[in-house]
Amino acid sequence: MTTPRTLFDKLWDSHTIAHLPGGVDLLQVDRNLMHELTGVEAVRVLEARELPVSNPELTFATLDHVISTQPGRRAGDAAWSTTMVDAMREQMTRYTIPLFDIGADGQQGIVHVVGPELGLSLPGTLIVCADSHTCTHGAMGALAFGIGSTELVHVLATQTVRQKKPKTMRVRFTGKVAEGVTAKDMILYVIGTLGAAGGTGYAIEFAGEAMTALSMEARLTLCNLTIELGAKFGLVAPDDVTFDYLRGRPYAPQGESFDAALADWRALPSDPDAHFDREVDIDASRIAVQVTWGTSPEHVIAIDGAVPDPIDETDPSRREAMQRALDYMGVHAGQHLDELAVDRVFIGSCTNSRIEDLQAAARIVDGQHVANGVTAWVVPGSLSVARQAEQEGLAEIFRAAGFDWREPGCSMCVGANGDVVGRGERCVSTSNRNFIGRQGPGARTHLASPAVAAASALAGHIASPANWRSQGVVR
């Protein structure tokens, strides 16, 4: 009898070409995704070494990190960003690498949004990108992980990558979540429970009743923040939700080829008796709507909770880190988050910029208006998302409510190219990182779901969507 294997083991084994010294494996890469912030320089290094691109048809590029998100944009908002965008366009043309660009027929968008929506991210594939949030694609049942710039050069030249195999962890969400609790709340709760280093050295498979109930887009959100647990790999076993999402996508198998692929994909889930090095059970019914208070995703509490007191932390280094976070964020122990006025609201990023995210936010703001003094942005994750949102009337709902409706890109998540939060300003953001300076020097970031971000924009302070519903604002 064969030994039962996890989803991760099956994916790893099927892509292993050779076992190298030092416990390193050489893996075959199926999809190499690129963006301009890391891709341009990697190609320049490749050229300096006079190396060809091994398989340009297996590399796919998009413009997202530094491209402008202003309406009517053509490239960047600054000379340096325009130069980078133009360089990416020239390089990809010269190497015949597909580039998802802006324009009438463009498919441009955030790399971790366009990959799944185009069907590039498929169950059973190995996907790399020089971007830490590549773990997002693991929601499709893929082996997806971020690589460094040097590794990107190696992938371009060989279509392989070297990696040490991590241990495995399964996080099971038992039971059901309460109404209003989203995938963003689920993963923030896990990070708060296990800590920002709780997944270090592991590949994490998410499972359980509350997870399987999630839509495909919600699963992408869940896996997106796996890196914020310290884990490079986040996975969800492919099922009918996955298959229904992929059917008819441009780069997915079509017709009989799709049906043939299903047979392989259905064999990918972890075997019933597969061994995981660590098992974690999360009672989903205990998860409330979450908001971060500090400068790490692990600094998170329920939206109606109180900011913790560092004095209660027994570990000296963690206690010191908590106090530094309180000082930077301008909050104090015991404070309730709804006491905090907000200056900015950002709905976007590879975490929460898909159509379901925008629909959730639009349900909150429909017929209402952003509070005085709040600057609120909606940045769709791709041109496809933007077009659908415009067709459904969501864009007009946001505009009427006083939001800026922007063009697709990473925008304020990464705080580049002028899309930044001002020094000392407080921002409720649907992105994935609240590190010091992440959204701009001196910016104060609170991570939350699209619904919380929308409610906060209307209230002028951090606010629960439930409060707006209870007041009869949301019909």
- For residue range 166-191, what is the model confidence (pLDDT) as tens digits? 999 999 999 999 999 999 999 999 99
Minimal CA–CA distance to 287: which of 187, 393, 392, 151?
A: 187
Label residue 58 exposed, middle or buried (CB < 10 Å: 0-12, 13-18, 19+).
Answer: middle
pLDDT for residue 475: 39
Tokens 């969400």 locate to 173
Minimal CA–CA distance to 198: which of 238, 167, 163?
A: 167
Confidence of residue 2 (pLDDT cuts 50, 70, 90): confident
Question: Using an 8 Å Cβ cutoff, are 92 and 98 in contact?
Answer: yes
Rounded Cα distance, 246 and 219, in Å = 14
CA distances for 295 relative to 129, 289, 463, angstroms:
26, 18, 19
Percent of the chain with pLDDT over 70: 98
| Tens-place pLDDT, residues 371-389 | 999 999 999 999 999 999 9
For the cut 50, the answer to whether the pLDDT of residue 268 exceeds it is yes
| Domain residue limits, the chain | 7-166+211-267, 304-470
**Kind and range of the H or E element at 258?**
helix 255-265
Question: Using an 8 Å Cβ cutoff, are 242 and 218 in contact?
Answer: no
pLDDT for residue 17: 98
pLDDT for residue 467: 78
Backbone φ and ψ of 168, nearest 5°: -115, 145
Percent of the chain with pLDDT over 90: 96
In three-state secondary structure terms, 257 is: helix
In three-state secondary structure terms, 14 is: helix
Cα-only R_g, the chain: 22
**Kind and range of the H or E element at 331?**
none
Rounded Cα distance, 123 and 137, in Å = 9
pLDDT for residue 472: 41
Question: Using an 8 Å Cβ cutoff, are 355 and 389 in contact?
Answer: yes
Question: Using an 8 Å Cβ cutoff, are 342 and 426 in contact?
Answer: yes
**Domain spanning 7-166+211-267: which CATH class is it, in words?**
alpha beta
Question: Using an 8 Å Cβ cutoff, are 269 and 206 in contact?
Answer: no
Question: Using an 8 Å Cβ cutoff, are 430 and 184 in contact?
Answer: yes
Strands, DSSP E only, in 267-350? 278-283, 290-292, 300-302, 344-347
Confidence of residue 105 (pLDDT cuts 50, 70, 90): confident
Confidence of residue 227 (pLDDT cuts 50, 70, 90): very high
pLDDT for residue 342: 98
Across the range 243-250, mean pLDDT stands at 97
How far does Cα 357 stand from its chain's mean position?
Answer: 12
Token pair listed for 148: 């460094």
- What's the order of all strands across the beta sheet hosting 24-28? 16-20, 24-28, 160-164
How far does Cα 265 stand from its chain's mean position?
Answer: 23
pTM: 0.97
pLDDT for residue 1: 63
Token pair listed for 412: 């304020």
Rounded Cα distance, 454 and 445, in Å = 15
Rounded Cα distance, 389 and 406, in Å = 12
Rounded Cα distance, 419 and 416, in Å = 6
In three-state secondary structure terms, 381 is: coil
Minimal CA–CA distance to 253: which of 62, 125, 159?
A: 125
Establish how many alpha carbons lie within 13 A of residue 50's alpha carbon, considering only the half-sphere containing its beta carbon. Answer: 0
What single-letter DSSP state applies at residue 44? Answer: H
Across the range 42-56, mean pLDDT stands at 97
What single-letter DSSP state applies at residue 249? Answer: -
Q: Does domain 304-470 have CATH number 3.20.20.100?
A: no
Same topology, domains 7-166+211-267 and 304-470? Answer is yes
Across the range 256-267, mean pLDDT stands at 97
